[in-house]
Structure 1
Amino acid sequence: MDINVLESRPAGYAYLLDMMDLTGMPHWHTSFVSSSGTHKSKVQNGTIEDIYPIRYWPGEKVGDHLEFVLKYDGVNLGLLVRIFEKVSQDELTEFIKSKPTGKYARRIWFFYEFLTGKQLPIDDLTCGNYVDALEAKDYYTVQDGEKSSRHRIVNNLLGPKSFCPVVRRTEKLAKLDSSDLRKRCEDIVTAYPPELLRRALSYLYNKETKSSFEIEHIKPNASRTEKFITSLELAEKEDFCEKERLIELQNRIVDPRFKDSDYRVSQNYVGQTVAYQKEVIHFICPKPDDLQSLMEGLIESHKRMKARNVSPIIHAAAIAYGFVFLHPFEDGNGRIHRFLIHNIMSLQELVPRGLMFPVSAVMLKNPADYDASLEAFSRPLLQLIDYRLDEMGQMTVENATACWYQYMDMTAQSEALYEFVTKTIEEELVEELSFLANYDNTKKAIQDIIDMPDRLIDLFIQLCLHNNGSLSTRKRSSHFDFLTDEELSTMEQAVRDGYNKTE
């Protein structure tokens, strides 16, 4: 069909998916080429649609559109692997041989062999400069990636073939500076005395534990709470992202009846019952048969990012969200996902020693943002999975789905985690430390008025704070009838002064 008779025509991924009758996870960028006019761009809900003038039309061949993809649409490994499954090897080989030193042709060649595990009948290159698989200005990448001499490509991807997330350097993430975040933490730490920080740490561990369980509407008993806190205390010293440690962690934090000794062997999903034998499905986990390879890839990806200087926020988002999307256990996946955020940020030294970020508390306070970070992957994924439910609620997935979990675009999750961590540092952490500092000052002021047990001082401050700086008549008669009117008035004023409360 002649391009000139068309107003506009899909190009890049849109052209290839249409031509090959393929579906896939929505891509952030869609291209069209118009027979007339100039370049136009439309941004909506985090996606970009570009309409290019006719001189951009790549032609009719698959290779030309794959080159267009790498130039304008960006790298989507999940879509590429689906396209490579359909493309003619002969056609691809001919295209690559026609541009033996072209960087885009070499990248296509590298991605084909990396993703499919098949080798094209092309001789190894013997000369030419090395180019990165991903442009470091556009994507987060590992430093000092392996050199593939066959393609003269540096493999700077974040993971192996079995689990390789991609994170784009968006405008929002351009503000991400790990050293700046750490400095802000250190500035906060130096503003408070060491004794207060030690007390705050204990309180923050409790708050993080309570918040992480509360997100899932769970009220843990004292034993499970203590076990989770103990694990959090280890998170800054030990790497939990390996199979045995993850199983051990799962066993600690779930009801003993739901402990796992290995990854799950049944098809799992997240849903809610709305009527008898009627489920609304929110998320479908990978098939059990795919899980072992996916989890091995996730752990290898973690080690790769840890060793090769990837931003702690990007690293934590890719692995922690990757973990919850793989859902390797029957129970406890959400809590482990949030635990891994702490573990990785501590290992990567974003969090100063002796401090912890109550990130779950911020997620709990911003449920819509947290849900959106999960649904950015889970919602479009549902459209790609063919499944059936039996009368017992057992699910069977009937199509191949592994590639959508192998090659996730984790940009939305990275942006969300960056927002959560920033709020944790600038709001949650400051509020908690200020509260404790105010408490110490208020407690000392009350002790100067009357020398009473710490338990009663704590109770007095709490009751006053719950009543805008004053003690109610009922609470006074039930707990503090021994106070004179003058003592009560002076103590209430001490609370108001300590916490800037007005009558």
Structure 2
Amino acid sequence: MPNKESKFFFEAVIIFHEKRLPEAAVPVGYAALIHAYELSVPLPRVLSAICTRHSVFEKDGWRILTPRHKPNLTLEGQLVFALKYEGVDLVVLKRLFDVVQPQEIAAMISSKPTSSYMRRIWFLYEWLLDKPLDLPDAKTGSYVEVLDEKQQYAGKGKNSTRHRVKNNLPGTRNFCPLVFRTPKIDAYIAQDLAGRAQKAVGNISADILARTAAFLLLKDSKSSYAIEGESPPQNRIQRWGRAIGEAGKQPLDLPELLRLQKIVIGNDNRFIEMGLRQGGGFVGEHDRESRLPLPEHISARHEDLPSLVQGLIDFDTQYAGKVDAVLAASVLAFGFVYIHPFGDGNGRIHRYLIHHVLSERGFNPPGVVFPVSAPILERLDEYRRVLESYSKRLLPLIDWEPAEKMNVRVLNDTGDYYRYFDATPHVEFLYSCVEQTIEVDLPQEIRFLQRYDQFKAKIEALIEMPASTVDLLFNFLKQNEGVLSKRAREKEFAALKESEVEYIEATYSEIFSS
């Protein structure tokens, strides 16, 4: 094997893998490893480089450090720098360990057996490759965490006596996306949004709360279909709403996912492949003339689906309860949608999984479903940007060809890309949606129902009127800015006296003007 260390950067560059640096600098850490070993991996969202300045700054996806941070231009030097300053990137490490000779890694670890960085590298090598190095168990050295919790959110941790490390990775070898600690996520966690939601409904009557919950449930179901650009019959919307209402009550396993797909698709599935895909999958369009695929995202290979789906299930049953609820919901839901295990129904099940985790963790008040699909629908462009934050980096790495039925056939090994992605943007986005639900949607719906009940009571005190007629009257007033239209006064409400119309309009204005 050629000496790869000779390929590390010695001089400053301004372009790295088509990505421009803010100024000429020497790429280091993961950037240097990707370049030197020609690793086919998605570039990390933030790369590191060394320049001649003596102050650290970040710009355009680069963290520019000072000469005193410069690592040794060796495999060991770059790996230690990466763990120290850039955290753990499992997909880069997995592909690196695939190409480096095990003897080289073993020799590196043997030279510094008590080093915390060497023991972390040793553990990660054996964990990722499921293959032991020819090394005796560690005998000395304080236990050190695999993930630095100052950099990334971690699980509870379990000691690995062989390496004398605490394995706090929040997942299994089959599925373990990671999330970097950011001021935004820390601030969201500190807000205790779950507690604020409980407080918001604490003094609400059971009747108002039940009607609020029913409305929010229907709103979420409608929004979830609208995100997919679909307008299904009302019975399908209600059926999916009932499924969302039961989220978190059943353990997540493959039969449960198949049941959800059946609910989403309905009984007419003559043209839809049910169950795990037996071929390729992609999100995108077809060329109008050639009908060839134009993918925006390519799904995991069908050969990898059993292990990937099992990884999702294991994450939910073993790890989701040990990390922040919104973080766990983001990892599970966005991991599912990137994998895209089904031929159809993935988007709605992806959003269902958010409800599943939040409900299972008791994050939302009992009986209330946060309509997270509604803020997603309102922020559709932002939602797509979050999805593309990984898909766009992933797409150029996938070798594919057109397959039968104008599908795609993936030609290279892509499983690692779906197991180990960086879910940081996804957590920030979902937290913003949950915050909107708690701070705006939930109290807004409660206030509306309280005011509507006031309006209804005053109208019924004035004149005997069925509830459905009061509702029709309210909708006419709402559509016409509190004024009963000439058409309504001459047709549906011709029986009303002028004084009654004036009272009704004044009542509506008094209650709803604010």
TM-score class, shorter: over 0.9
Identity of aligned residues (%): 34
In 2, Cα distance between equivalents of 1:347 and 1:203: 21
Does the Cα contact within 8 Å between 2:11 and 2:26 map onto a contact in 1?
A: no
Give, in whole Å, the separation in 1 of the partners of 2:10 and 2:140: 41
Instruction: Give runs of aligned pairs for residues 336-415 of structure 1, distance below 5 A.
Output: 336-390=349-403, 392-415=405-428
C-alpha distance in 2, partners of 1:158/1:65?
A: 25
- Whether 1:254 and 2:247 are equivalent positions in the alignment is no
Assess, with a 3 A threshold, how the Cα gap between structure 1 residues 3 and 416 changes in structure 2: closer, same or farther. Answer: closer
Deviation sequence 1:130-178 (CA, Å, 0-9, x none): 11110122211111x2211110111111111111110111111011227
Q: In the alignment, what sits opposite 1:165?
A: 177
Counterpart contact for 1:250–1:260, Cα < 8 Å = no
CA contact (8 A) 2:245 2:369 kept: no
Give the match for residue 48 of structure 1.
Answer: 62
Distance, in Å, in 2 between the alignment partners of 1:178 and 1:355 is 22
Residue of structure 2 in register with 1:303 after alignment: 317
Distance change in 2, residues 1:5/1:48 (3 Å): closer
Deviation at 1:390, TM superposition (A): 4.6
**C-alpha separation between the residues in 2 aligned to 1:295 and 1:392?**
25
SS of equivalent residue, structure 1 residue 400:
coil
**Which residue, 276, 296, 305 being the options, matches 1:282?**
296
Q: Could you tell me which residue of structure 1 aligns to residue 496 of structure 2?
A: 483
Counterpart residue number, 2:21: none
Q: 1:252 to 1:172 in 2, by over 3 A?
A: same
Identify the match of residue 146 of structure 1 among 150, 153, 158. 158
Tell me the SS of whatever aligns to 2:225.
helix
Shift of 1:420: 0.5
Q: Does 1:245 align with 2:256?
A: yes
- Secondary structure at the aligned position of 1:95 is classed as helix
Q: Could you report, residue by residue, the CA deviation over 1:392-439 in whole angstroms, capped at 9, with x for unpaired residues?
A: 412111111111101011111111000000011111112111111111
Give me the whole-angstrom Cα distance separating, in 1, the residues matched to 2:200 and 2:235.
Answer: 32
Partner of 2:326: 313
- In the alignment, the residues of structure 2 paired with residue 472 and residue 166 of structure 1 have an alpha-carbon distance, to the nearest angstrom, of 57
CA drift of 1:58 comes to 2.1
**Consecutive aligned runs of 4 or more in structure 1 exceeding 6 Å deviation:** 1-5
Per-residue displacement from partner, 1:165-197 (whole Å, max 9, x unpaired)?
101111110112277111211121024222111
Please tell me whether the aligned partners of residues 438 and 499 of structure 1 are also in contact (alpha carbons under 8 angstroms).
yes
Q: Which moved more, 1:382-391 or 1:212-221?
A: 382-391
**TM-score, normalised by the number of residues in structure 2:** 0.92
The count of corresponding residues between Structure 1 and Structure 2 is 494
1 CA distance for matches of 2:196 and 2:507? Answer: 31
Alpha-carbon offset, residue 201 of structure 1: 1.2
- Structure 2 counterpart of 1:23: 40
What amino acid maps onto 2:126 in structure 1? E
Unaligned runs of 5+ in 2: 1-5, 13-23
> Does the 8 Å contact 2:274/2:342 carry over to 1?
no
TM norm structure 1: 0.94
Distance 1:357 1:287 in 2: 33
Partner secondary structure for residue 440 of structure 1: helix
Match of 2:467 in 1: 454
Tell me, yes or no, if the aligned pair for 1:29 and 1:49 is still in contact at 8 Å.
Answer: yes
Counterpart of 2:108 in structure 1: which amino acid? F
Return the alpha-carbon distance in structure 1 between the equivalents of residues 84 and 197 of structure 2: 39
Post-superposition offset of 1:39: 3.3
1:37 paired to 2:37: no
Aligned residue identity for 2:242:
T
Q: Structure 1, residues 211-256: CA drift from partner, whole Å, max 9, x if none?
A: 11111111222332232122122114333x2111110111112132
Picking from 95, 108, 116, the partner of 2:108 is: 95
Deviates more, 1:4-13 or 1:152-161: 4-13
The one of 225, 228, 239 aligned to 1:227? 239
AA paired with 1:40?
V
Secondary structure in 1 matching 2:192: helix
1:185 alignment counterpart: 197
Q: Distance in 1 between matches of 2:62 and 2:454?
A: 53
- Per the alignment, residue 31 of structure 2 pairs with 14
Pair 1:5–1:327, CA change in 2 (3 A): closer
State the match for 2:128 in structure 1: 115
Kept in 2, the 8 Å contact 1:250–1:336? The answer is yes
> Is residue 97 of structure 2 the alignment partner of residue 84 of structure 1?
yes
Work out whether 1:291 is the aligned partner of 2:305.
yes
RMSD: 1.9
Secondary structure in 2 matching 1:272: strand
- Structure 1 residues without counterparts, runs of 5 or longer: none
Displacement of 1:127 in angstroms is: 2.7
